[in-house]
Homo-oligomer: A and B are copies of this chain.
Amino acid sequence: MKVVALVYPGMTALDLVGPVQAWSFLPGFDIQYVWRTPGAVRSDCGLSVVATHGFADAWSDPDVLVTGGGGKPTLDLLGDAELAAFLADRGARARWVCSVCTGALLLGAAGLLKGYRAATHWSARDALPGFGAEASDDRICIDRNRLTGGGITAGVDFGIAVAGHWMGAETGKVLELVMEYAPQPPYGTGRPDLADPQTLERAQAALAAMMAA
């Protein structure tokens, strides 16, 4: 499986590392990390990651196209014609078009979600119809060959679930055990409908501040 994974300045590292970590444990996965040109890009946690390939020399016919999301840097890319053209080109030929978190907005801006259901970060669902997509509140949304995950940590569930979708449940079960994915969220507040009003208000304020930064 040839995977083209988008990396870009300000990306939320965990959005992408969740799925690629899962897939890297499987045989036969080869991943190109792609940005405009090869070299280091700084993610939103200060960790710089290295693009192995540029738009020009990334596989033209990947099996998988995947992108994570982020805050303001991701929104700033929605009007980037070069990026949209790259995603539209690879997405048109990829067997599977994937995103986690607000990566769905990047797919949307490239025209790849028109007429599809898609998941994204809970705070960004309202933006999906603007790209002709139907917002899903599922943690993992599979609509034909568009595979999308919810916010940030959903990338972990996404990586394992999609591996199982591609390679069968036996592979998914082993991967989940190798990755010790028996989660114990410490507070139980991980979705708006689970959180108390004060937590929701503070999270919305924190996200708004990140978007304004």
In angstroms, Cα B47 to Cα A31, docked, is: 9
- Report which of B151, B169, B181 forms a contact with A153, defined as CB distance below 8 A: B181
Q: Is the CB of B49 within 8 A of A31?
A: no
Contact with B along A185-213 (1 / 0, CB 8 A): 11111111011101110110011001000
Q: Name the distance in Å between A201's Cβ and chain B's nearest Cβ.
A: 9
Q: Name the distance in Å between A50's Cβ and chain B's nearest Cβ.
A: 4
Residue of B nearest to A159 (CB): B14
Q: Is the CB of A180 within 8 A of B152?
A: yes
**Given A47-B49, A173-B195: A157 and B184 interface contact (C-beta under 8 Å):** yes
* Assembly stoichiometry (copies): 2
Q: Does A146 reach chain B (CB closer than 8 Å)?
A: no
Stretch at the interface among A16-24, A80-88, A89-97, A126-134: A16-24
Q: Does A117 reach chain B (CB closer than 8 Å)?
A: no
Q: Is the CB of A17 within 8 A of B20?
A: no
> What are 13 A-B interface contacts by the 8 Å CB criterion?
A13-B20, A14-B17, A14-B21, A25-B206, A153-B181, A157-B183, A170-B199, A172-B187, A173-B196, A174-B203, A177-B191, A177-B195, A182-B190
